[in-house]
Amino acid sequence: MKLCRYNDQKLGLVAGEQLIDVTESIAAAGEWRWPMPPGDRLIAALDAVRADVEERRKWGFVQLHESVSLLSPVANPTKVIGAPANYRAHIDEANADPGITFGTTTSAIDEYGLFLKNPVPVGPSEGVALLYTDRRNDHELELAMIVGRAAKDVSEADALDHVAGYAIGLDMTVRGREDRSLRKAIDSYSVLGPWMVTADEIDDPDALALRLWVNGELRQDSTTANQIFDCRKLIAYASRHYTLYPGDVIMTGTPEGVGPVRPGDVMRCEIEGIGAMEVAVRAAG
């Protein structure tokens, strides 16, 4: 099932080119009172929401999904986790380009650990607003895993049982010497979309083709099979450090081909089994 959030906080079911309004199914997530437990309440109640969506889909207003404004499919993650240097060919390109590394040597994820991005992702229709247009801002296309339930110290064997679904992620990055959490967590530098594909539709998240174009030029073209830490290992590793909550997002790292974008550019992102999204770039402010 492909679920999206769109326009004015509506919930949509995506079926081919169509989007069916199933906003009323949000009520199936139940009522809650302050203080809410950490995490996204809709994702936490996904089984009940899905069952309700199956009931309502035949009654919902239908339109083309291209005609709506797509928001991040997850409204309230507690965190968006980033995986640095998780593809060997990206590490090699970084070490060959001082515009990426700024004089440091990039090693692999097992030395870097993880980092945290802006926990309020934007959707594709909201676009990316570059804060420093006089500096290099790179696209990093990444598979994004969306956590389904609270978990700590998950084993690799059980890891994928904790995934509610998958989406396309963009780990936008301004290059420079500042800490990653400044450069990669600027408003709008976490992009998630175009919808969440529930985990049952993805047989193997470690075998998905992913591609990114800028203004029609192919920049990134790889497969998640090239990840150094595969999806199971990333979940186990992340959950050893951070309790994972429903709706938390793990961006799994970028393959080679990262490069700069400028105001006016349009990024097209595709991941096999999920779909495609276009994201416009503008200057902030």
| Contact residues for Mn ion, defined by CB under 5 A | 140, 171, 254
Q: Looking at beta carbons only, is 49 or 274 nearer to Mn ion?
A: 274
Q: Whole-number minimum distance, CB 30 to Mn ion, in Å?
A: 35
| 3 state SS for the chain | CEEEEECCCEEEEEECCEEEECHHHHHHHCCCCCCCCCCCHHHHCHHHHHHHHHHHCCCCCEEEHHHCCECCCCCCCCCEEECCCCEHHHHHHHHCCHHHHCCCCCCCHHHHCCEEECCCCECCCCCEEECCCCCCEEECEEEEEEECCCECCCCCCCHHHHEEEEEEEEECEECCCCCHHHHCCCCCCEEEEEEEEEHHHCCCCCCCEEEEEECCEEEEEEEHHHECCCHHHHHHHHHHHCCECCCCEEECCCCCCCEECCCCCEEEEEECCCEEEEEEEEECC
Q: Looking at beta carbons only, is 28 or 144 nearer to Mn ion?
A: 144
Q: Whole-number minimum distance, CB 169 to Mn ion, in Å?
A: 9
Q: Looking at beta carbons only, is 140 or 270 nearer to Mn ion?
A: 140
Q: Whole-number minimum distance, CB 117 to Mn ion, in Å?
A: 9
Q: Which residue is nearest to Mn ion (CB)?
A: 171
Q: Looking at beta carbons only, is 106 or 254 nearer to Mn ion?
A: 254
Q: Whole-number minimum distance, CB 103 to Mn ion, in Å?
A: 19
Q: Looking at beta carbons only, is 140 or 248 nearer to Mn ion?
A: 140
Q: Whole-number minimum distance, CB 131 to Mn ion, in Å?
A: 17
